[in-house]
């Protein structure tokens, strides 16, 4: 069974840090591009970060540039999102996703065909 499982969310104060993990089973990350998305209450799911298949290229939404780092460990088959200098507006459920169609934008939810269940991140002011 192919599955993505996120962990590492929680409650943190403004300026704090968290590291999210996304463990993959049944699908090797070594040949998969991956992304992180987030969804705040009442809002659409939005793109956060992307990493290509070999991990040599990353893309971020402007609001997290310089604060978040996406990476993956192919040996552990795990994707990470290091989040630093957290702000209350970063509060959301965070989802990892495996890239599906390469014809669709890597910043679109439609470009991914496998999703985790999400992990809650709450940043208090």
Task: Inform me whether the pLDDT recorded for 37 exceeds 90.
Answer: yes
N-terminal to C-terminal alpha carbon distance within the chain:
40
Best CA proximity match to 35, nearest among 79, 88, 97, 86: 97
Arithmetic mean of pLDDT, 60-71? 98
> CA 49 from chain center: how many Å?
6
Task: Inform me whether the pLDDT recorded for 2 exceeds 90.
Answer: no
Task: Inform me whether the pLDDT recorded for 1 exceeds 90.
Answer: no
Arithmetic mean of pLDDT, 18-27? 94
* 8 Å CB contact between 6 and 96: yes
d(CA 29, CA 9): 21
Arithmetic mean of pLDDT, 88-105? 93
**DSSP code string of 1-61:** --EEEEE--EEEETT--EEEEEEEESS-GGG--EEEEEE-TTS--EEEEEE-TTS--EEE-
Arithmetic mean of pLDDT, 65-77? 96
Task: Inform me whether the pLDDT recorded for 24 exceeds 90.
Answer: yes
Task: Inform me whether the pLDDT recorded for 69 exceeds 90.
Answer: yes
- Residue pointed to by tokens 């939005």: 46
Best CA proximity match to 14, nearest among 60, 67, 65, 62: 67
Position 27 scores a pLDDT of 84
Mean pLDDT value across the chain: 95
Of 69 and 30, more confident: 69
């Amino acid at each position: 069974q192919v599955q993505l499982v996120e962990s590492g969310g929680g409650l943190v104060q403004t300026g704090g840090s968290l590291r999210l993990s996304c463990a993959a089973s049944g699908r090797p990350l070594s040949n998969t591009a991956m992304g992180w998305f987030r969804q705040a209450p009442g809002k659409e799911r939005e793109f956060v970060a992307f990493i290509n298949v070999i991990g040599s290229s990353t893309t971020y939404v402007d609001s997290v540039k310089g604060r978040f780092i996406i990476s993956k460990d192919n040996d552990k088959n795990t994707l990470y999102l290091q989040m630093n200098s957290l702000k209350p507006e970063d509060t959301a459920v965070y989802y990892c996703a495996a890239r599906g169609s390469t014809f669709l934008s890597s910043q679109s939810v439609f470009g991914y065909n496998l999703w985790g269940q999400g992990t809650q991140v709450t940043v208090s002011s």
